[in-house]
């Protein structure tokens, strides 16, 4: 007889032996006799221990392919079900998959127009902190730069929490409680407090987040949102604010599981909840990665924000006796590609941030001092 702890995990995987695919536990499923969709997990969770044991007994006894439910298949089903239920709390990786979870992009900072600064983290490490200091130092020298767009969308699932504390220290006053790490069985959480930094930024900021924002990026966004009420643009983050441990359990299988949870000053947690942006503006990951690669290889970021329109006939051209469209039509008539055939890649979230800050600057100009 199967133990109850494993039984609950087996039902979705046992059903996989049937030819039809298993319904996604996160999607609503219905039967012909039902009018209202009910999630599979809700159905299982509403059953008592006796009902679960009976369902398992019937499947292992009367199911048409019960011989396939050997101990190995049952153990695989148990692990699969457990990982499904734990969501981001635990995951099974390969060596290649673990390497791919680290950001392949480098730190980038640049100026957008006259009054905006932009910085994007690559990997959250000591080098990233040093690059941040360099960027802040350059931006602070320019009095015209009134706002900074901080891009936290680089795909790095996990990083050192001390790095998060160092980054936040550039945006918060010293000796401020930033966040805590709570471990099971330990009544005293580890406290992370901001430290005095030689370089800091106290002007306006906007944050960009999405589904690839990792644990350090989420901590930075959560703390800055709480303390500064800054604007967050993008997509909901996954909620990875935990400390993971990686243990090799097979030749090419690594079990990554949470061993500690990050909580904010008020003990609130965003683990498995994520951060909801103030303005939901999705950018396809493929497009974002393309822009990341091109910009770190030297292509100006402005080329993905301010689009160059195809020249068209206008009154100025008529007065001058020229035709700005002639080159375009000559290429088209010869069936040759033109620079305007393929729409340029657009980072919609970044464009939204730039538009908002530009509009705010236009509507709220600073009064210039008279000489």
Each residue's pLDDT tens digit, 60-98: 888 888 888 788 887 888 888 888 888 888 888 888 777
Q: Based on the domain organization, do 156 and 45 belong to the same domain?
A: no
Q: What is the mean pLDDT of residues 239-253?
A: 89
What is the pLDDT at residue 64? 86
> What does the radius of gyration of the chain's CA atoms come to, in whole angstroms?
27
Decide which of 88, 116, 141 is a domain's last residue: 88
Rounded distance between C-alpha atoms, residue 266 and residue 271, angstroms: 14
Q: Which helix (H) or strand (E) holds 355?
A: helix 348-363
Judge whether 212 lies within some domain: yes
Tell me the three state secondary structure of residue 247.
Answer: strand
Tell me the three state secondary structure of residue 345.
Answer: coil
What is the pLDDT at residue 341? 67
Q: Which residues form the domain of 319?
A: 311-343
Taking only the tens place, the pLDDT of each residue in 152-207 is 999 887 778 999 999 999 999 999 999 999 998 888 899 999 999 888 998 999 99
Q: Based on the domain organization, do 264 and 327 belong to the same domain?
A: no
The DSSP secondary structure of 25-66, one letter per residue, reads TTSEE--TT-SS-EEHHHHHHTS-HHHHHHHHHHHHHH-TTG
What is the pLDDT at residue 133? 95
Task: Please report the beta strands in 63-164, taking only residues with DSSP state E, as ranges in sequence order.
Answer: 90-93, 108-112, 116-120, 147-151
The DSSP secondary structure of 154-182, one letter per residue, reads SB-S---HHHHHHHHHTTS-TT-EEEEEE
Question: And the tokens for 56?
Answer: 């398992």
Q: Which of 297, 255, 228 is nearest to 93 (CA)?
A: 255
Judge whether 98 lies within some domain: no
Number of domains within the chain: 3
Sign of CA dihedral 360, 348, 291, 342: negative
What is the pLDDT at residue 313? 67
Q: Who wins on pLDDT, 212 or 63?
A: 212
Q: Based on the domain organization, do 112 and 248 belong to the same domain?
A: yes
Q: What is the CATH number of the domain that holds 269?
A: 3.90.226.10
Distance of CA 167 to CAs 7, 194, 231, Å?
45, 9, 18
Taking only the tens place, the pLDDT of each residue in 108-159 is 999 998 889 999 999 899 999 999 999 999 999 988 898 999 999 998 877 7
Using 50, 70 and 90 to split pLDDT, how confident is the model at 20?
very low
Q: Based on the domain organization, do 112 and 84 belong to the same domain?
A: no
């Amino acid at each position: 007889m199967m133990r109850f702890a494993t039984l609950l995990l087996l039902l979705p995987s046992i059903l996989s032996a049937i030819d039809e695919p298993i319904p996604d536990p996160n999607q609503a499923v219905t039967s012909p006799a039902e009018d209202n969709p009910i999630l599979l997990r809700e159905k299982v969770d509403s059953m008592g221990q006796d009902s679960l044991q009976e369902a398992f007994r019937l499947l292992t006894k009367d199911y048409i392919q019960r011989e396939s439910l050997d101990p190995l298949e049952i153990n695989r089903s148990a692990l699969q079900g457990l990982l499904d239920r734990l969501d981001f709390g635990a995951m099974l990786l390969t060596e290649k998959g673990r390497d791919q979870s680290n950001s392949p992009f480098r730190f980038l900072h640049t100026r957008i127009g006259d009054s905006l600064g932009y910085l994007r983290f690559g990997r959250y490490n000591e080098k990233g902190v040093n690059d941040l200091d360099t960027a802040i130092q350059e931006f602070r020298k320019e009095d015209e730069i009134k706002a900074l767009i901080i891009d936290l969308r680089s795909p790095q699932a996990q990083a050192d929490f001390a790095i998060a504390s160092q980054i936040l220290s550039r945006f918060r006053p010293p000796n401020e409680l930033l966040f805590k790490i709570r471990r099971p069985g330990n009544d005293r959480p580890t406290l992370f407090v901001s430290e005095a930094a030689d370089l800091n930024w106290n002007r306006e900021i906007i944050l960009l987040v999405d589904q690839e924002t990792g644990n350090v990026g989420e901590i930075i966004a959560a703390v800055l949102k709480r303390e500064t009420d800054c604007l967050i643009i993008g997509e909901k983050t996954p909620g990875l604010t935990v400390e993971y441990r990686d243990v090799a359990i097979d030749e090419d299988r690594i079990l990554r599981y949470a061993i500690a949870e990050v909580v904010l000053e008020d003990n609130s947690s965003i683990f498995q909840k994520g951060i909801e942006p103030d303005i939901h503006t999705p950018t396809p990951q493929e497009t974002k990665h393309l822009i990341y690669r091109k910009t770190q290889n030297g292509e100006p970021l402005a080329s993905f924000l301010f689009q160059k329109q195809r020249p068209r006939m206008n009154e100025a051209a008529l007065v001058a006796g020229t035709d700005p469209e002639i080159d375009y039509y000559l290429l088209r008539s010869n069936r040759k590609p033109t620079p305007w055939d393929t729409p340029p890649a657009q980072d919609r979230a970044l464009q939204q941030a730039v538009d908002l800050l530009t509009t705010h600057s236009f509507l709220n100009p600073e009064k210039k001092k008279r000489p």
